Every structure is written in C-alpha cells, then in structure tokens.
Amino acid sequence: MAENPYRRARKQAAETNSLLNNSESAQDIVHIERSRLIAIEKDQKTPYPEEVVSMAEVYHAPELCDQYCTGQCPIGKDRKPLLYQDLNQISAQLMSSLYFLQSANDLVFSILEDGEITREEREAFRKVLQLLDKVSYGAQSLKLWARKNGLD
C-alpha cells in the first residue's frame, strides 16, 4: 500500500523542520486539529481544499494541491496528474510540444478562419486540441517545478 501523500510530505518537511515530526506539534503549524490530521494521513478522511493548501504551503509541497485536484476532487478527476520531474525532462517535453504547435499554426488558421469546423476538419481539429493539452501539461509541469524550487 502506497504511503499517504500528506503524511509523506509532512515527514519529508520534518527533515528541515523538527516541529513537523509528529502530528501533535504539526497541528499548530498547519492549523488542522490533531485527530483530523491523523485521519487525513490514514486516508480515513478527505481533506478540505483549504487544508490541502495549508499543508502544501507549510510542507513546501505544491504537488499536494495537484494530487488533491486530480485524485480527490470530483471536478478535476478527469485531469492527468502532474508528475514532479527534473527540469531537463520538462524542457524536452515542452520544447517538443511547442515545436509541433508551431508547425500546426497554418492548420489551426485554416480550420478556424471561416468560423466553422467541417466534417473533414474534425480529425485535424482533435489533433490540435491534443497538442494544446500537451503544451498545457508542459506549462503546468514547469510551474510545479518552479513552485517546488521556490522560483514562483
């Protein structure tokens, strides 16, 4: 069974802040009552969004917000979760997506110039949307990396 991400983030943050070593002292910092914090870390209770934001800030773990949105929030469950990657991986993926997006520029213009998407243009339009999803994912991955490394 995988370790709960909230507990894992707290334990990792405890390496630099000993007050996060246990839920007793952590409750005062994250402003979540001890028994509720324990229940969240044992997957017995789903945290509220504001609790996730607090834990993400205190633990310096912005990925908790994305994990919550894609794993526990009914609105975001259909989104692909972001994986924390190193900058080289993110750069390669993002640059590849941007390269293909640049080459798709004429296609986008020809599809959208008349304000209609014909039956023949639908498949090409779907491919453009998939490419835009890749660019968006790359941009969000880069933002996560920046937040995690204190550059936002």
Tell me the C-alpha distance between 131 and 49, whole Å: 30
The pLDDT of 28-54, averaged and rounded, is 96
Are the CB atoms for 43 and 2 separated by under 8 Å?
no
Does 2 have pLDDT greater than 80?
Answer: no
- Domain limits for position 54: 5-71
Tell me the C-alpha distance between 102 and 119, whole Å: 24
The pLDDT of 27-45, averaged and rounded, is 96
Task: Tell me, yes or no, whether 124 lies in a domain.
Answer: yes
Final residue of a structural domain among 44, 71, 98:
71
Tell me the C-alpha distance between 92 and 19, whole Å: 39
Q: What is the mean pLDDT of the chain?
A: 90
Tell me the C-alpha distance between 55 and 38, whole Å: 13
**Which tens digits make up the pLDDT trace of 84-135?**
788 999 999 889 888 888 778 888 888 888 888 888 889 888 988 888 888 9
Task: Tell me, yes or no, whether 94 lies in a domain.
Answer: yes
- SS3 assignment, position 3: coil
Same domain, 140 and 113: yes
Same domain, 67 and 9: yes
